[in-house]
Amino acid sequence: MDAYKTLEALSKQATLLEGIEGLLGWDQETYMPPAAASIRAEQKEALAKLAHQLRTSSAYEDTLAMMIDLDSGAIREKSLSDEQKAALRAWRHDFVRLKKLPSSFIQEFAATTSRAIFVWQQAKQENNFSLFEPHLAHICDLVRQKAEYIGWRHHPYDALIDEFEPGCTTSEIDILFGQLLQAIPRLAAELAEGSRTISVEKGHIDLGRDEQIALARRVLECIEYDFSRGRMDLSCHPFSSSYHPTDCRITTRAEPHGLFMQALTTLHEAGHSMYEMNLPLEHYGTPLAQAISYGMHESQSRFWETRIGRTIHFWRFFYPIAEKMFPAKFKNVTIDDFFRANSRVTPSLIRVDSDEVTYPLHIIIRFVLEKELVRGTLRPKDLPEAWNAAMKDTLGIVPPSDREGCLQDIHWSMGSFGYFPSYTLGNIICSNLFETFEVAHPDWTTRIETGDFECIKTWLKNGIWRHGRRYTSSEIVEKVTGKKISSEPYIRYLSTKFRTL
Amino acid sequence: MDAYKTLEALSKQATLLEGIEGLLGWDQETYMPPAAASIRAEQKEALAKLAHQLRTSSAYEDTLAMMIDLDSGAIREKSLSDEQKAALRAWRHDFVRLKKLPSSFIQEFAATTSRAIFVWQQAKQENNFSLFEPHLAHICDLVRQKAEYIGWRHHPYDALIDEFEPGCTTSEIDILFGQLLQAIPRLAAELAEGSRTISVEKGHIDLGRDEQIALARRVLECIEYDFSRGRMDLSCHPFSSSYHPTDCRITTRAEPHGLFMQALTTLHEAGHSMYEMNLPLEHYGTPLAQAISYGMHESQSRFWETRIGRTIHFWRFFYPIAEKMFPAKFKNVTIDDFFRANSRVTPSLIRVDSDEVTYPLHIIIRFVLEKELVRGTLRPKDLPEAWNAAMKDTLGIVPPSDREGCLQDIHWSMGSFGYFPSYTLGNIICSNLFETFEVAHPDWTTRIETGDFECIKTWLKNGIWRHGRRYTSSEIVEKVTGKKISSEPYIRYLSTKFRTL
């Protein structure tokens, strides 16, 4: 028990520093004077280095190794509670990964991607893939090297996914995504055909800057987002970040766009934020107060965005509220017409602009390509061609330019290989959970229509939030739903929802 | 030279962490969700501890001692430039002070004052000095102990002032303040008599929340405050803080108050901020990129507040601008009447509400009392009586309650003994500098009337800002003005300005 307390203290100290680094990142995107960019990079680097030193120190290693075998993962300290044993497994997972990467490699990776992000922006702007190609090639080499450092059995990509989805493998994702690939392209084609007759016009309500901020705030008030522990500010791209369960922040953007998207983006970020806010405070500094994985996090944001926000029930509640806020913006459009216009299915070139049905196809394309880039069976210089071919095969459309093709996302320039699947895993997990939620709360639609979101929060808190990393994402899905994770609920949801629209 | 570089690197690392701690303080006062107060205290403490460890480490001590004798202050490394030698002296000054205080003492001091601040707030609210008295007594004991740790020759108060005004002694302040005490009470009485006939009404222009923010921003725009390196936000009490010359922030308040005060407060904070912004970037992390002292800092804020903002010339420029911003708020009042109404002299019970002439008397009262509290010749329980007697003697008025008397300021509850003199030293230094500035720029009044503030900034930058801590405050006054620091210019300024009004 003393060893556990020692590790807890060391880990808490590192967590404090990581939290401060996160806050510096938030400040950078919201309020920092522009000229401070360079000193800010130094400040963040200093904190990251201190936290890294703590997490890889011999004190940390020795204390951890007293309680758990670092090689096999077998628990040595039998007197611990199940919760504490789970924490040890998570601590070990992170420690082993961290220790495998030499500092010199981490530095080279950081320097390379920091340059690559800059070049990618330029390449995208100028629609010039050849500018970015050598940087991508270098990153692919480093990412392969990273996989070698970490170690893998079946596919080097396994070593990369594990950063975002601890315990998850390439072949598991192959199966989940394979199911989607069988069902969704056909469904998407059918729905796109049906969407042709839906008027887009009726879904558009453009808001000005201040109106958007007011709308986002109203959405948060409606779901009783806790402003004593959270806040909302403006940034270029909306994000959620948190530094402690009592300090969770989201941002929204202010450049003109529609009311529907603003409401959904807010629900999405609030979903992330409420997860962090409801992690158990008393375990702060340990894995028991951390979110499970990127996919699990995304399942929570998608829960609020898609399963609450993208329903006619939410709009029966919220449309009149928004209308009262901005009466001049509302024409004579029924809620049903407004909702239908915002639920059209049309294949898009751009991932972030796509509808719910075609979105996972964008992810699958990236997953397949990045596996090949990592394996080395796809050369970076052949990426544009492979991208366009995959778009044609899967979505039936071909980007007229790389800017709207393989240059659209920032992820690869950041070296974030293995991240993309989390988006769709989020939707899959969310759908698995939701089928159980519906059984527990068969009246959920009427509750939402009357603005009662409490039962949703309580259900998520008890089922997921309060456990931190006690379980892996597949364990928690099984614990909550009684079934193994599968893509069926997600396919069922998409087919049912869009076919009945 | 290698030792210098090593020390520079260690000091820079500590400075980075101290800057981050400062930013966390800013966030706490501006945007932090309220529930995060407790984790924020832990975050700040963790950073302060890391910085303290660095600044008192044996690596730091050994490197410093290679170049300068820690006991005598004699420079050992002769090959250094004069600038570097000055940096060494400042480093040594801070190091020696820091090393003298045991960690256990620092912890007790922090814990005691943190409780005392809380009790002081309550005592002030309830007008109950006896609540605060035992805490003040404990603080006085600790402050005395602190002076013993630091060491002193003539007065224990010397050891305390030195924290805020390196190199300055009690007897120097005795002389400077003695001169003021001879001249100002008589001047104040004369001016108060003359002020009776001035209509207060004509000086009042009340602004709402958003108007105040807009006004403060306009003031900053007028003096070309650099928004690429700075920003302005809202907080309960206006303050200025900085974390690097590229990241300097000020705040303003939004609760309703008058236009005149809002403009002056903004100029005051901008004065602090521009000093920090113009410290030499290339020396960041060393004393050559630090401000000289609290008094010197205050001299810069007072320069902008009093010598620019509290002149008819500034209002000839700014009154029409403000009138254009809020035409409905302006009645038929001439600039002269507006300015005169805002330049009345009336003794006030409250320091922060006082006019320019009586303000230094409030400081002198505190200076005299805190010297006695530190020496032990005044017992904390006798403070209210001593306070009231001093007010009667010096300002001719007696507070009807301790809330408006000895409980009005937060400083003593924070253990900040030795801080108060800096306010008036600021005014004294400012006046010394200004007489030279006037000679260099005899057209300054017309420049201000046309909104040209560039020559002021350039003059301050060359004379003071760019030197960091290369010189002490008395050295720099002598360097700039060619004369020793004295209270005469300040007395001259007050008499001339207010007698001609």
Give the C-alpha separation, B496 to B501, whole Å: 9
Q: What is the maximum span of chain B, computed from C-alpha positions, in angstroms?
A: 69
Q: How many CB atoms lie within 10 A of CB B495?
A: 17
Q: Can you name the residues that pair with A240 across neighbouring β-strands?
A: A250
Give the C-alpha separation, A10 to B98, whole Å: 26
To probe the interface with B, which of A42, A210, A247 has the most B CB atoms within 10 Å?
A: A247
Question: Residue B363, SS3?
Answer: helix
Q: Please, are residues A398 and A101 in contact by the beta-carbon 8 Å criterion?
A: no
Q: Is A269 a catalytic residue?
A: yes
Distances in whole angstroms, Cα of residue B350 to Cα of each of B114, B252, B397, B399, B404? 24, 20, 11, 9, 6
Q: Please, are residues A259 and A219 in contact by the beta-carbon 8 Å criterion?
A: no
Give the C-alpha separation, A48 to A17, whole Å: 7
Give the C-alpha separation, A166 to A364, whole Å: 20
Of the residues A18, A165, A211, A269, only one is catalytic, namely: A269
Give the C-alpha separation, B99 to B138, whole Å: 23
CB contact under 8 A, A33 and B249: yes
Active-site residues of B, by number, are 269
Report field, pTM of the whole predicted structure over 0.80: yes
CB contact under 8 A, B229 and A284: no
CB contact under 8 A, A43 and B19: yes
CB contact under 8 A, A227 and B33: yes
Taking the CA of residue B222 and the nearest CA in chain A, the distance in Å comes to: 19
Which residues in chain B have Cβ-Cβ distances shorter than 8 Å to A243? 36, 39, 43
CB contact under 8 A, A39 and B227: no
Cα–Cα–Cα angle for A25, A30, A35, rounded to 5 degrees: 80
Which residues in chain A have Cβ-Cβ distances shorter than 8 Å to B32? 247
Which residues in chain B have Cβ-Cβ distances shorter than 8 Å to A227? 33
* B21: closest chain A residue by CA: A20
Q: Please, are residues B321 and B218 in contact by the beta-carbon 8 Å criterion?
A: yes
Which residues in chain A have Cβ-Cβ distances shorter than 8 Å to B50? 50
Which residues in chain B have Cβ-Cβ distances shorter than 8 Å to A244? 36, 39
Is the backbone of residue A127 left (phi > 0), alpha (psi -120 to 50) or beta?
left
To probe the interface with B, which of A23, A242, A284 has the most B CB atoms within 10 Å?
A: A23
- Beta-carbon contacts of A14 under 8 Å, excluding residues fewer than 6 positions away, are A51, A54, A55
* B249: closest chain A residue by CA: A33
CB contact under 8 A, B47 and A20: yes
> How confident is the prediction along chain B (501 residues), in pLDDT tens digits per residue?
699 999 999 999 999 999 999 999 999 999 999 999 999 999 999 999 999 999 999 999 999 999 999 999 999 999 999 999 999 999 999 999 999 999 999 999 999 999 999 999 999 999 999 999 999 999 999 999 999 999 999 999 999 999 999 999 999 999 999 999 999 999 999 999 999 889 889 999 999 999 999 999 999 999 999 999 999 999 999 999 999 999 999 999 887 778 999 999 999 999 999 999 999 999 999 999 999 999 999 999 999 999 999 999 999 999 999 999 999 999 889 999 999 999 999 999 999 999 999 999 999 999 999 999 999 999 999 999 999 999 999 999 999 999 999 999 999 999 999 999 999 999 999 999 999 999 999 999 999 999 999 999 999 999 999 999 999 999 999 999 999 999 999 999 999 999 888
Backbone phi, then psi, for B485, in 5-degree steps? -65, 140
Listed in order, strand segments (DSSP E) in B118-246 are 206-207, 230-234, 240-244
Closest CB from A16, A33, A231 relative to B231:
A33
* B227: closest chain A residue by CA: A33
To probe the interface with B, which of A16, A20, A50, A228 has the most B CB atoms within 10 Å?
A: A20
Q: Which tokens is A212 given?
A: 């958007």
In this structure, the strands spanning B240-244 and B247-252 are: antiparallel
* B30: closest chain A residue by CA: A31
To probe the interface with A, which of B32, B234, B240 has the most A CB atoms within 10 Å?
A: B32
CB contact under 8 A, A16 and B284: no
The full set of domain ranges for chain A reads 201-337+439-465
Residues of B within an 8 Å Cβ radius of A: 13, 16-17, 19-20, 23-24, 27, 31-36, 38-40, 42-43, 46-47, 50, 226-231, 233, 243-244, 246-249, 284
Q: Can you name the residues that pair with B241 across neighbouring β-strands?
A: B249
